[in-house]
Amino acid sequence: MTKTATLFFISSLLVLTSCKDAKSANKIYYQAINGKDTARLSVIYYEDRFFGQYERIYGKSGKDSGNVRGQLVGDTLKGEFKYLSFGGSKSIRPIVFLRKDNRLLLGKGLIATYMEIPFYVKEVPIDYNTGFVFEEINKQ
């Protein structure tokens, strides 16, 4: 291998490694507790997008867990939650969070479906008083 090829290989490796470290360093972990229910969210923010994992545990009776992704629109995270439900079926539903004082408030709205794509109805306002207030946590 020539010196140029070796140098290119090493610099490429350094760039790829630093990008991976930067993305993992930007992962933020959240948790919300509402009565007997607990929700956990890990999110990576990248430019005007977000993606991560979301899990909602319903007391001792079951949980929904899967991936979230979407757009950052001002102080709002709007996206979709692709998950495996407690019953074992795969589902997709819209998900929305409001960023307020370093916390995320889970929103709830009227969901409609068009061509099997669920979305929030724009004419009905999103309610952010669902009881799920996500606080940032340290993940070991």
Q: Is residue 11 part of a domain?
A: no
The model's pTM = 0.78
Closest CA relative to residue 56, chosen from 130, 139, 119: 130
Inter-residue contact 77 to 89 (CB < 8 Å)? no
Q: Is residue 43 part of a domain?
A: yes
pLDDT in tens, 41-55: 999 999 999 999 999
Percent of the chain with pLDDT over 90: 69
Asked, for residue 96, whether it belongs to a domain, the answer is: yes
Domain limits at 63? 27-137
pLDDT classification of 13: cutoffs 50, 70, 90: very low
Of 22, 26, 85, nearest to 51 by C-alpha is: 26
Structural domains in the chain (count): 1
Is residue 22 predicted with pLDDT exceeding 80? no
Identify the CA nearest to 96 among candidates 114, 69, 57, 115: 69
If phi > 0 it is left, if psi is from -120 to 50 it is alpha, else beta; for residue 51 that is: beta
Q: Which of the four pLDDT bands, split at 50, 70 and 90, describes residue 87? A: confident
